[in-house]
Amino acid sequence: MNPLTLEWIDKAEGDFTTALRELRARKSPNYDAACFHAQQCAEKYLKARLQEAVIAFSRTHNLTVLLDLLLPVEPGWDKLRAKLLALTAFSVAYRYPGASADKDTAREALNFCREVREQVRLSLGLTP
């Protein structure tokens, strides 16, 4: 596997761990951060898959843009579109004043993230 792909995976796993920790925190959980890190995990996993496929990508946080780049090599992933759209929205909606995520929203974001993580890991020959 490409060394840069492995770096993307390591960064994605860091975000996954942080999202889990914030969702499970008993004292002062930060559900906004759980949503943000769930999006970041999915983003970095998509970029890892793009990197491994040698598909150029720009600096974007829009997960459906990354998905569209991947569809020629992973056509079955279009089923993830609605979840990636939601994750993109979750990451922005709760980062600034005006809205806050609750536990159910954070759980949903993490579930969407898990599905993306599993698909990419399987595609890369890693254990889900």
Q: Model pTM? A: 0.96
Q: Which residue has 């496929």 as its token pair? A: 53
Q: How far is CA 34 from CA 4, 46, 56, 113, in A?
A: 25, 18, 28, 11
Structure tokens at 44: 């970095």
pLDDT tens track of the chain, all 128 residues?
Answer: 999 999 999 999 999 999 999 999 999 999 999 999 999 999 999 999 999 999 999 999 999 999 999 999 999 999 999 999 999 998 888 888 999 999 999 999 999 999 999 999 999 999 98
